């Protein structure tokens, strides 16, 4: 019997492996070993175990940094949504991990390539393999490139694009467009913190902070959306 199939190249999630064999293992389902004895034990489950921990930590740190105005409870809920199986499986499809997954013939016939658990495990295994091959920084940067896509999967449009949602709501209420202004910048260039004032004429003004101007503006827009939808029109 011939050897197991091989994946196409040594790149995944925007990272190129120094050791492509690690990526091949991350993409190898345990069903391959049943048909190729030489591959027995060379499946991705150990890398999946490691990747699960890396994903959890990267997502937690990213949420903490991206949403400085959000309370612990909301961050916990967002993290749970981002690391759950269906979200990771969707990322596996988006970044074509599903197409490159190495399966035994039986698993292939049974549709394992479409199973959320299999795809989520493969995604975690790839992250684990990047961590082993390139270390924490490589795993962090590769995964963070995926997180905006993941966030759009789990959040309603008003949360994913609060500035756009606010613009639409104000138009429906026949109110003027919002006015954003940076009122303070502090910290060194690599740790800059912006304070933005958002005014919605005639009577709503809020301030919010973020690690970028965009993040601060989005945080301010979320605050105004919450107040307007609650029927509030007070100066905050």
Query: Which CATH number characterizes residue 214's domain?
Result: 3.30.160.20
Reported as a single tens digit per residue, the pLDDT across 126-169 is: 999 999 999 999 999 999 999 988 888 876 655 657 888 888 88
Boundary-marking domain end, from 99, 133, 155 = 155
Same domain, 137 and 223: no
Whether 89 is covered by a domain: the verdict is yes
Same domain, 147 and 221: no
Same domain, 94 and 15: yes
Give bridge partners of residue 12 from the DSSP assignment: 15
Structure confidence at residue 196 as a pLDDT band (50, 70, 90): very high
Same domain, 188 and 206: yes
Backbone angles phi, psi at 205, to 5 degrees: -140, 130
Q: What is the rounded average pLDDT for all residues in the chain?
A: 85
Structure confidence at residue 5 as a pLDDT band (50, 70, 90): very low
Same domain, 211 and 142: no
Query: Region 19-30: what's the mean pLDDT?
Result: 92
Q: Which of 52, 69, 116, 144 is catalytic?
A: 52
Respond yes or no: is residue 124 known to be catalytic: yes
Q: Which of 66, 98, 124, 218 is catalytic?
A: 124
| CA 161 remoteness from chain centre | 15
Q: Supply the pLDDT for residue 210.
A: 83
Spell out the residues 6+ positions from residue 11 whose beta carbon is closer than 8 angstroms to its own. 17, 23
Same domain, 16 and 83: yes
Long-range contacts, 209-216 (Cβ 8 Å, 24+): 209/68, 209/69, 210/68, 210/69, 211/65, 211/66, 211/68, 213/182, 215/66, 215/67, 215/68, 216/182
> What is the DSSP code string of the chain?
--PPP--S-SEETTEE-SSHHHHHHHTB-THHHHH-GGGTT-SSHHHHHHHHHHHHHHHHHHHHHH-TTS-HHHHHHHHHHHHSHHHHHHHHHHTTHHHH-B--HHHHHTTGGG-HHHHHHHHHHHHHHHHHHH-HHHHHHHHHHHHHHHHHHHS-HHHHSHHHHHHHHHHHTT-PPPEEEEEEEES-GGG-EEEEEEEETTTEEEEEEESSHHHHHHHHHHHHHHHHHTT-----
Range of the domain at 92: 11-155
Q: Supply the pLDDT for residue 157.
A: 54
Same domain, 42 and 118: yes
Same domain, 126 and 190: no
Using CA atoms of 66, 68, 72, 74 in order, give the dihedral in degrees to the nearest 10: -60
Q: What span, in angstroms and rounded, lies between the C-alpha atoms of 145 and 75?
A: 19
179 assigned to a ligand binding site: no
Q: What's the pTM?
A: 0.65
Assign residue 135 a region (left: φ > 0; alpha: ψ between -120 and 50; beta: otherwise): left
How many domains does the chain divide into? 2
Same domain, 201 and 222: yes
* Strand 179-186 to 11-12 pairing: unpaired
Respond yes or no: is residue 52 known to be catalytic: yes
Same domain, 139 and 123: yes
Residue with tokens 């004032």: 197
- The residue ranking higher by pLDDT, 23 or 151, is 23
Task: CATH number of the domain at 121, please.
Answer: 1.10.1520.10
Whether 97 is covered by a domain: the verdict is yes
Asked if 114 contacts 78 with a C-beta cutoff of 8 angstroms, the reply is no
66 assigned to a ligand binding site: no
Same domain, 20 and 87: yes
Boundary-marking domain end, from 116, 140, 155 = 155
pLDDT above 90 for 119: yes
Boundary-marking domain end, from 126, 155, 184 = 155
- The residue ranking higher by pLDDT, 39 or 31, is 31
Same domain, 184 and 71: no
Of the spans 52-56, 95-99, 198-202, which averages the highest pLDDT? 52-56
Reported as a single tens digit per residue, the pLDDT across 158-186 is: 565 788 888 888 988 889 999 999 999 98
């Amino acid at each position: 019997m011939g050897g197991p199939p091989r994946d196409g190249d040594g790149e995944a999630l925007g990272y190129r492996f120094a050791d492509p064999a690690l990526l091949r293992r991350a993409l190898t389902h345990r069903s391959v070993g049943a048909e190729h004895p030489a591959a027995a034990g060379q499946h991705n489950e150990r890398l999946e175990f490691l990747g699960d921990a890396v994903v959890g930590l990267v997502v937690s740190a990213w949420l903490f940094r991206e949403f400085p105005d959000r309370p612990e409870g909301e961050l916990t809920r967002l993290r749970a949504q981002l690391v759950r199986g269906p979200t990771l499986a969707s990322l596996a499809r988006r970044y074509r991990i599903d197409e490159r997954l190495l399966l035994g013939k039986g698993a292939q016939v049974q549709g394992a390539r479409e199973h959320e658990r299999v795809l989520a495990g493969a995604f975690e295994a790839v992250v684990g393999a990047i961590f082993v091959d390139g270390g924490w920084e490589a795993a962090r940067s590769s995964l963070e490139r995926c997180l905006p896509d993941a966030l759009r999967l789990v959040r309603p449009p008003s949360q994913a694009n609060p500035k756009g949602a606010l613009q639409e709501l104000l138009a429906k209420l026949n109110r003027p467009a919002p006015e954003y202004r940076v009122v303070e910048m502090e910290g060194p260039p690599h740790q800059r913190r912006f304070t933005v004032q958002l005014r919605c004429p005639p009577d709503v003004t809020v301030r919010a902070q973020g690690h970028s101007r965009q993040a601060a503006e989005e945080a301010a827009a979320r605050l105004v959306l919450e107040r307007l939808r609650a029927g509030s029109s007070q100066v905050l």
